[in-house]
Structure 1
Amino acid sequence: MTDPQIAVAMLGIFIFTIMLGFPIAFTLMALGVGFGYYAYFDADRQWRLYERAITDGADLWTRIETWLSGFFNNRIFDLFVNQTYSVMSNDVLTAVPLFLFMGYVVERANIVDRLFSTLQIAAKRIPGSMAVAALITCALFATATGIVGAVVTLMGLLAFPAMLNARYNTSFASGVICAGGTLGILIPPSIMLIVYAATSGVSIVRLYAGALLPGLLLAGLYVVYVVGRAWLNPKIAPRPPETEETQVSGFALLWLLITSFFPLAILILSVLGAILFGLATPSEAAAVGALGGLILALAYRALTWQRLQESVYLTVRTSAMVCWLFVGSWTFSSVFSYLGGEQVISDFVTGLDISPIVFLILAQIIIFLLGWPLEWSEIIIIFVPIFLPLLPHFGIDPLFFGILVALNLQTSFLTPPMAMSAYYLKGIAPPHVQLVEIFKGCMPFLGMVILAMALIYIFPGVVYWLPNLVYGR
């Protein structure tokens, strides 16, 4: 077999092993080191060392030691160590644990229940008011945490039972929670975009600026769908009855917003604004955000030693997973490229003689399908780098491609049969709520994601307007 054929076999073995359920990070490292040993092995050098030992009259033990030193003196081990060090010292990735810590602290500060109650009162005259309040709460909370499972689970415990008690249609309410919980991987400050920036080399501040309007567009489409559906069919989202809790004066409502909505919103906008306007690097802004999360939890009297321990533990666990995925992916991709696998894929795709728009659609279909068995982190770190070298050939901006990928990854959480948002919600939903009903509720929101992607294809200015306005072309 030639080296390129071995590289293709290496990729096939990787896909087969992850389908069997092996840990992805360690599978990448094992295949990278294993095939890398073959790629970088220098048999001639090993024999020269051994022959020199014989010529020098070395004894048997020295000859064996010389042979073994040549056997283990392989550049793949240097590459693996260097890749590990590069990942752990990457300035961009430093922001990941800090943003995660901010999100976990906010999640455990009992802010969300107060926020949802306030927004529900503020939106009481809008059709589907509880669904609208749940969507806005999900968007704000998902933006602060960036962790889909945490948002869907928490909102599933808080808002989902409230909507069911108000006689909301089960599928409709399920779709609202599942779709709203995924917005955090798109709307800045998104951890997914930080990982994409580290993978692609695109400026994270330009990515944040480019993702802001598409994120708001998608959230807006969700709200328009919810309000329109509730207005056309009031039975699926009945208007809640007036109670003493919802009958508040304008001043009382303003005070509720000041004490629940504005603190979290100001924290997020401060972090995002500091990054977008160049006042701080993403890592510095994330550090300030983590401190702000602690102060917010303290102000709400929700910061306990146990919650702090849980936040630190979850942050370390998730950060380690992301970093070791990077180590494995970069080792794997370096060996894959060295063997000529990247060139094989490049030659195959460029030989198809397709237009840039067809390439974009094919790439998004592949990412859409990968979203069924894989998490977004695995797709961004492992498979997106396969597409990145092809972008210059088709004249596609990596910034634009990254925003489309971020939008597309929303679908991976909403598309049956592997819609992870649906499984998160099913895990904490009442027993009578069937998984089929949750899947059914996700479908219209999946349509909104596809509509948002189509609008960005047609109007790329939605992505470029803010980056060009703030940073120039």
Structure 2
Amino acid sequence: MEYETIAILMFSTMLLMMLTGQRVFGAIGFVAVVAALSLWGTGGQQMGISAVMKLMKWNAMLTLPMFVFMGYVMSETRLAEDLYRMFHVWMGPVPGGLAIGTVLLMVLISAMNGLSVAGMAIGCTIALPELARRRYDKLMISGVIQAGSSLGILIPPSVVLVLYAMIARQPVGQLWLAGIGPGLMMAAIFVAYIWIRCRLNPSLGPALSAEESAAIPRAEKIRLLRAGLLPVGIFAVMMVPFVNGWASLTEASVIGVVVTVLAAVAKGRFTREVFEVSTRSTLAITCMFMLIIMAALSFGAVFDGLGAGRAIERLFVEDMGLGPWTILIMMQLSFLIMGMFLDDTAMLVIVAPIYVSLAGALGFDLIWYGILYTITCQIAYLTPPFGYNLFLMRAMAPKDYSLADIYRSVLPFVGLMVLSLVILMIFPDIALWLPNAIYTK
């Protein structure tokens, strides 16, 4: 059997297993093990062992449980709730101010957790009731929460970028720094859109009246400002040593956890229950990602051995005569199509053995390409019919939010994300300037 046929058979088998509801790591790992043993006999078992050892030696993986634990402590101790109250008081008088505050809240939560599900949970439990009480448009509420929470996989410490770093063999620190510029750019585009829409149509996001704003004492505003800025301070204490080279990425993540726990203790909110819930949730997420990474590394090793990546490159470049940018655009379009049916992890693992090596062979920077991939994942999170955030929103939102409403609400934000993707493709330095500047220093 030719190697190209084997590669197609591996892909089709893996997709079929995923369609039957198998776990991502189970489907990927099973296909990788069976293919390795079938092609190379008992020697093929070394591929899986090598993947495990490579993962165990990768120090950056230690940051994953640290940042996830920090995010859960932040959520369970309601530190994020203080932050939203601050935005409510200070941004309320602006047209669409609470929706803008929700996006800013998501940016800061993303800087603490790295998972979109954390933003969704906080948005639906804290922001949604307040936005509804202030008579915000239902579609605006749904769209803002879903789009804002998707920033969690782009703004560091992004867990998705950790997975990409392992598969693409790129430094996690550089990828995280590369995500800051595009993440803030996308958040700014969201804020501008909300402000313009609500200024043109005030019924979409009514501003806090002058009477209500004046009724809040100045002392209360200052108190909320101090409480709300606590998460910002935690992020600064964590990142400043890393950016200045005083601490490694792993050490910075430990600093972040220690400072977060101390802040929760100081406020009297760090209970046994908080510790237990945060620890269990962190363990579950960390184990899931480690299993996925091991399966993906094994799958990629088989593909490298088959030479499938080089065969695809030869097909596009030599046989079809396509230019690098045409191939890149085709790759991104395929991501968008797959995102309608698969989650971000499955997409990366399925195509990483081909796309990452192909992007590198075409001369594209793999740090920049990782950010492009992550933005495409954000779009996939919001793309019907099977967008991850769409179903999370349906599960967490009140019953009067129909699935049709949720689908309609994300369409403007999907368009804004595509715009952000195009801007980043035209101006790569938006992503590359910061990591180049920090690591050159």
Length-normalised TM-score, structure 1: 0.88
Task: Tell me if structure 1 keeps the 8 A contact 2:143–2:406.
Answer: yes
Matching residue of 2:34: 34
Per-residue deviation, residues 289-342 of structure 1 (Å, max 9, x unmatched): 111221122122221111211111111111111111111111122123223333
CA distance in 1 between counterparts of 2:234 and 2:350 reads 32
State the alpha-carbon separation in 2 of the partners of residues 177 and 296 from structure 1. 26
Q: Deviations over 1:416-437 (max 9, x none)?
A: 1112212212212221111111
1:226 Cα deviation from its structure 2 partner: 0.5
Q: Quick check: 1:223 aligned with 2:191? A: yes
**Cα distance in structure 2, aligned partners of 1:246 and 1:305:** 40
Q: 1:343 to 1:459 in 2, by over 3 A?
A: closer
Match status 1:349 vs 2:316: yes
CA distance in 2, matches of 1:292, 1:382: 38
Matches within 5 A, 1:104-253: 104-241=72-209, 247-253=215-221
Distance across 2 between alignment mates of 1:279 and 1:373 = 43
3-state DSSP class of the match of 1:240? coil
Q: Is the 8 A contact 1:80 1:331 kept in 2?
A: yes
Q: Does 1:262 align with 2:226?
A: no
Given that 2:238 and 2:252 are in contact with CA atoms closer than 8 Å, whether structure 1 keeps it comes out as yes
Partners of 1:274 and 1:335 in 2: how far apart? 40
Partner of 1:50: none
- CA separation of 1:322/1:84 partners in 2, compared to 1, >3 Å: closer, same or farther? same
CA deviations over 1:89-140 (Å, ceiling 9, x no partner): 3212121111111111111111122211111110122111111111111221
| Preserved CA contact (<8 Å) 2:110 2:156 | no
Please give the alpha-carbon distance, in whole angstroms, between the structure 1 residues aligned to 2:303 and 2:435: 34
How far residue 367 of structure 1 moved from its aligned partner, in angstroms, is: 1.6
The aligned counterpart of 1:462 is 430
State the identity as a percent. 25
2:259 to 279, 292, 296: 292
Q: What is the Cα-based RMSD across aligned positions, in Å?
A: 1.9
Q: How far off its partner does 1:245 sit?
A: 7.5
Aligned match of 2:286: 319
| Structure 2 counterpart of 1:304, from 245, 265, 271 | 271
Q: CA deviation at 1:19?
A: 1.9
State the distance in 1 between where 2:13 and 2:326 align: 28
- CA gap 1:459/1:3 in 2 versus in 1, 3 angstroms: closer
Report the equivalent of 1:87. 55
Could you tell me which amino acid in structure 1 is paired with residue 19 of structure 2? M
Decide whether aligned partners of structure 1 residues 467 and 147 sit closer, same or farther in structure 2, where only a CA change above 3 A counts: closer
Q: Number of matched residues?
A: 440
Q: Which has the higher mean CA deviation after the structures are superposed, 379-388 or 329-338?
A: 379-388
Gaps of 5+ in 2: none
The change in CA–CA distance for 1:243 and 1:89 in structure 2 (over 3 A counts) is: farther
Larger CA Rg, structure 1 vs 2: 1
TM-score normalised by L of structure 2: 0.94
Alignment of 1:37-116 (within 5 A): 37-41=37-41, 74-116=42-84
Judging changes above 3 Å, is the alpha-carbon distance between structure 1 residues 178 and 211 closer, same or farther for their aligned structure 2 residues?
Answer: same
Partners in 2 of 1:466 and 1:85 — Cα distance? 32
8 Å contact from structure 1 (residues 93, 195) kept in 2: no
Following TM superposition, by how much is the alpha carbon of 1:462 offset from its aligned partner in structure 2, in angstroms? 1.4
Maintained 8 Å contact 2:309/2:358 = no
